[in-house]
Amino acid sequence: MQNTSTANHGRPSEDVCPISDALFAQICRSTPSQSRELSLGFSAQERARLALFCNSRAHLRESGREIAGTCTEASLTREGGQAGLVLFQQARSGPETWGLAPRQNSRRVSLAG
Question: How far is residue 19's CA from residue 59's CA, in Å, rounded to a whole number?
Answer: 18
Q: Which residue has the higher pLDDT, 69 or 103?
A: 69
Write down the mean pLDDT value for the chain.
81
Tens of pLDDT, residues 23-47: 999 999 999 999 999 999 999 999 9
Nearest Cα neighbor of 48 from 95, 96, 94, 12 is 12
Name all contacts of 76-85 with Cβ < 8 Å and 24+ positions apart.
76/48, 76/51, 76/52, 78/48, 79/11, 79/12, 79/45, 79/48, 79/49, 79/52, 80/11, 80/48, 80/52, 81/9, 81/11, 83/52, 84/48, 84/52
pLDDT at residue 3 greater than cutoff 50: no
What is the per-residue pLDDT for 16?
85
AA letter at 35 = S
Q: Are 14 and 3 within 8 A, CB to CB?
A: no
Rounded to two decimals, the pTM is 0.73
